[in-house]
Amino acid sequence: MEAVALALDAYEQHLFGDLAHGHRNDRAEAEGLVHALVVDLITYGESNHLDVVDLLDALVQARIDRGGALINPRYSFRLNTEVQFRDRDADEHRGFITELKSSGSGQDAECVLRVPGLIDPQHTITSQLEPATRLVPVPTRTRGIVFSAQEAEDTIIEILGDLTTKQDTAPAPEAVADLKELSTALATWSGTTPQRVLHHLRNQARVSPPSPDNRSPAARRAASAFPNSIAASLTGEQPTPSTISRSEPPSTNPRPRLK
């Protein structure tokens, strides 16, 4: 927060010089300055060919996920939302929603979570979940700054894939160091261990086929995991039986004990 305040100090000083009531003492001044800075950051990013639109979309969706006066977050989760269990004393894991199955309007949705470091998917319902605490940003040597758990997972998979394709050469120390730091950060976030995270994501790196396009691993995973029943309802067709083996849906206990 202090870093943000200092950035606003510099921005305000550059634009207006010394003010009698700056953003630290004037709520209206602070709000206007933040709005102007955000607009200028967007313009700066676009003029330098930096991707800021996806970040803004993600921030808007995160606000929706956290709800508001007219939105209940238990009904607004979507695929790949970063979530954690509401009862943190009973379950400390965090992960990503990979499947959603609605029981009807205004009802809890059954969902499946992928927890980095756990091989088996976890079944639960949306009322037991809440938006996850965000991952602390991780500066890397080879991939820039990683700002989210989803990005950390994708980056680990990319680095593992690069190392797998270059087995005849010694791995770069920078890449190895990045793997160690990213897996530690992701394990701390997900509630597992760095060793289990790397083991889990090595399996994903092996089964992820090379992409013929430029989509990110997250985009490819989201496209492949899009529920057939939802796609069919949108097109008015019967869903095609999935060839992917999935765990059985929950029966009496919607969230079994994690191993």
pTM: 0.60
Same-domain check for residues 104 and 33: no
Residues 159 and 204 in one domain: yes
Task: Give the pLDDT band of residue 42 (cuts 50, 70, 90).
Answer: confident
Of 148, 142, 68, 74, nearest to 116 by C-alpha is: 148
Which of 50, 71, 90 is the C-terminal boundary of a domain?
A: 50
19 with 119, same domain: the answer is: no
Q: Give 194-209 pLDDT, tens digit per residue.
A: 999 999 998 877 765 5
Q: List the beta bridge partners of residue 131.
A: 83
Tokens at residue 204, please?
């994903």
Range of the domain at 9: 2-50
State pLDDT tens for residues 79-110: 888 999 999 999 999 999 998 887 665 677 88
CB 89 within 8 A of CB 82: no
H-helix segments, 66-172: 73-76, 149-165
Tell me the backbone φ, ψ of residue 209, rounded to 5 degrees.
Answer: -75, 155
Answer yes or no: do 169 and 214 share one domain.
Answer: yes
Q: What is the pLDDT of residues 137-162, one digit of tens each?
A: 999 999 998 989 999 999 999 999 88
Q: Mean per-residue pLDDT for 163-174?
A: 83
* Count of domains for the chain: 2
In sequence order, the β-bridge partners of residue 110 are: 101, 125
